[in-house]
Chains A and B, each alone.
Chain A
Amino acid sequence: MKDQSAFSERVQDCVDRLTIVGVDALGALFDLTSHRLVRFALALTRNQHDAEDAVQTALVRVASRPQLLSPTTCPWGYLLRMVRNESLLIARRKKRWIKAGDLSDLVAICCVDEIEREETYRAIWSALRTLPPQQAEVVVLKIWEELTFAQIAVVLEESPNTVASRYQYAMAKLSKLLLPQHHGVHRD
C-alpha cells in the first residue's frame, strides 16, 4: 500500500512536469506507467497490439491535455480509467477471435534464471485470458496494482461489493485452472 501511494505521487510529479514542460516530459510518464498500463489493457483487449494502441491513445491525450489529470486527487486512477475506456472501445471495435491458450501476441521476456518458471507464467497468462474481462481487470488491479476494492471500484465506476464478488469468482476459477497444474509442476 505504501508502494502504491509512492507510485501515485510519482505519477503526480510526472503530470505536473508535463503541465509545465509539455510533450517533452511525456517520456518520464511513459517510462513510469507504460508497463502497468499495457498489462492492465491486456486484461481487456486480450491482444498486446490492441493494448498498446489503447495506452498510446490515452498517453497522447494526456500529453496534449495534461490538465485532464491535474485536478484529480488520484491521477494514477484516472489514467487507468482512461486506458480502460480506450481498451473497451478497441475491444468493441475489433472483436478479435482468440484461441484459448494462444499467447503468440505477447511480448514476453524471461530472465535466464526464470526460464524454468516460464511455463508457469504462460499458464497464468492463459488462465487470465479465459476469465471474462470484467473479472480479469479486477484481478490485475487487485494483485498487480495492489489497489483496494474501494479504489478499484472508483476506477471501474462500480460498487466495492460488485468488485469484490468479481474478484472472488475470478480467484475461484483461477484456482481450478492453476493449482492442480502448479502442484504438478512442483511434483515433477
Chain B
Amino acid sequence: MGCIVIDSSDSYEPLGDIEAMVRSAANYVQVSNDLRPRVLEAARERSGERRARRFIRQAALFAALLTWCVTASVSRLDIRDDLRELTLATTGSYPISNNWISGRASSEAWALVDAYTELRERQADVLRLKL
C-alpha cells in the first residue's frame, strides 16, 4: 500500500478537529447490562467443565490402575491355585503302604527317602503333562 501525501498546510487543522471530534464520541456507546453476568457465568461454566473433565480423566486413570492391579493379583492367585492343585494331586494320591515299606526297607528312614523320591518323580510327571 502506497503512502498518502496529505497537504499539511490546510489539512492539519481539520485533522486535529476531526480527531478531537471522534475522541469526544468515545464513551457514547456503552456495554449492555447483561454482558457482565453473561461473561462471568460462561467463564465459571467453562471452569467447572474443565474441572469435571479433569476429574473424569483422573477417575478413568484410577479405574484403569485398579483394573490392572486386580488382574495382576488374580493371575497371581491362579498360579498359586495351580501349585496347590499340583501339591494335592501329587501328595493326595500317593499310595504308601506299610507292607511296601516293610518289603523294600526295614527302617522308617529309608521308607521316607523312597516316598520323597517318588513324590518328586510324580510332581515332575504332572508338571511335564501341564506344560
Contact = CB atoms under 8 A, between A and B. Distances in A.
Given A26-B43, A124-B22, A139-B22, A107 B29 contact: yes
Interface string A38-79: 110010000010001001100110011000000000000000
Interface string A117-130: 11011101100100
A174 B22 contact: yes
Contacts of B38: 56
Q: Interface of chain B, helix or strand or loop or mixed?
A: helix
Interface residues of B, number: 34
A34 B23 CA distance: 18
Nearest to B17: A179
Contacts, number: 118
Nearest to B33: A107
A143 B23 contact: yes
Interface stretch (A5-13, A90-98, A161-169): A161-169
A77 to B, nearest CB: 19
B18 A179 contact: yes
Contacts of B43: 23, 26, 59-60, 63-64
Nearest to B28: A121
Contacts of A112: none
Contacts of A48: 29, 32
Interface of A: 22-23, 26-27, 30-31, 34-35, 38-39, 42, 48, 52, 55-56, 59-60, 63-64, 106-110, 117-118, 120-122, 124-125, 128, 139, 143-144, 161-162, 164-166, 168-169, 171-172, 174-175, 178-179, 182
15 contacts: A22-B47, A39-B29, A42-B29, A56-B38, A59-B43, A64-B43, A64-B47, A107-B30, A117-B24, A121-B24, A121-B25, A124-B28, A165-B1, A179-B17, A182-B21
